[in-house]
């Protein structure tokens, strides 16, 4: 039986982590908690944003449709993330479609209430700016990676990113990763074809860096994967 995708802890670099415990209750009072099943579309690229959405539990993917009709995954987000952060701030149109990769719980906050909360808590607004800066830096890095990196480098980068956020160390240095993404999703996130992902995974197995069975991937040589992702 396929093991369930574990729910990761709230990372320290997320929006929700930037909200001090003393004012979290004030944030949650502004919105409504809702639950959605795996495979649900939370909003669609081009939708007008009337609310801010904070991911409390579960995983989602954010993606856009390329000119040739292919889905391009921009990122995988976990607990604590502010989803669609730009539209949440300016009330513009959603720049990506967000779908759930697992069952999720979210906090939905009307835009005016969210704006008022940020104005009343400037320290949180500052931390949000840092989160946005990190997202921009990551976007710039990925553009460089897609422009210069080969398929193996791109796949290693995505595996390392998944491992750092959602992997589990079994105690002997092997990182167990139950990927929330299908191989097609992984290809879309890496800017590759599915065939290129399959070929690259075969290469990594031959090198002895990974073992995989379906969505379960054992990262045997994380340091080597990280080095290959950077070179």
What is the token pair recorded at 110? 């009307």
Task: Count Cβ atoms below 10 Å from residue 84 Cβ, excluding itself.
Answer: 25
Domain boundary among 87, 122, 147: 147
Could you tell me if residue 177 is inside a domain?
A: yes
Same domain, 126 and 186: no
Number of domains in the chain: 2
Q: What sign does the CA torsion over 177, 14, 187, 222 have?
A: negative
Same domain, 89 and 164: no
Could you tell me if residue 5 is inside a domain?
A: no
Domain boundary among 147, 171, 199: 147
Domain boundary among 86, 121, 147: 147
Q: What CATH number is given to the structural domain containing 164?
A: 1.10.10.10
Same domain, 107 and 32: yes
What is the b/e burial string over 174-183, where b = at least 16 CB atoms within 10 angstroms of the residue's CB?
Answer: bbbbbbbbeb
Same domain, 79 and 165: no
Same domain, 97 and 121: yes
Same domain, 179 and 140: no
Can you give the pLDDT of all 231 residues of the chain as single tens digits?
333 344 455 555 788 888 888 889 999 999 999 999 999 999 999 888 889 999 999 999 999 887 777 888 888 899 999 998 777 777 788 889 999 999 999 999 999 999 999 999 998 888 888 888 877 777 666 665 565 668 899 899 999 988 888 788 877 788 988 878 888 888 888 888 889 999 999 999 999 999 987 778 899 999 999 999 888
DSSP alpha helix (H) spans, the chain: 21-29, 85-90, 111-120, 122-148, 151-166, 183-190, 194-207, 222-230
Per the structure, the complete domain to which residue 101 belongs is given by 16-147
Asked if 149 and 160 count as a contact pair (C-beta separation under 8 A), the reply is: no
Same domain, 184 and 204: yes
């Amino acid at each position: 039986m396929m093991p369930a995708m574990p729910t990761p802890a709230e990372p320290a670099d997320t929006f929700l982590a930037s909200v001090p415990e003393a004012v979290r209750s004030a944030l949650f009072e502004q919105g409504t908690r809702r639950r959605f099943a795996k495979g649900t579309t939370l909003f669609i690229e081009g939708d007008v944003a009337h609310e801010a959405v904070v991911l409390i539990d579960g995983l989602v993917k954010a993606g856009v449709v390329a000119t040739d009709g292919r889905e391009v995954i921009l990122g995988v987000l976990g607990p604590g993330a502010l989803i669609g952060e730009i539209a949440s701030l300016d009330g513009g149109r959603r720049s990506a479609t967000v779908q759930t990769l697992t069952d999720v719980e979210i906090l939905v906050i009307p835009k005016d209430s969210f704006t008022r909360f940020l104005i009343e808590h400037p320290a949180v607004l500052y931390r949000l700016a840092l989160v946005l800066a990190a997202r921009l830096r990551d976007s710039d890095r990925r553009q460089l990676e897609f422009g210069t990196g080969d398929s193996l480098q791109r796949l290693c980068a995505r595996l390392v990113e998944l491992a750092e956020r959602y992997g589990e160390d079994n105690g002997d240095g092997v990182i167990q990763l139950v990927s929330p993404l299908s191989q097609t999703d992984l290809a879309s996130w890496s800017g590759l074809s599915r065939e290129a992902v399959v070929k690259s995974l075969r290469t990594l197995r031959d090198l002895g860096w990974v073992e995989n069975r379906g969505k379960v991937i054992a990262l045997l040589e994380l340091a080597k994967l990280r080095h290959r992702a950077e070179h």
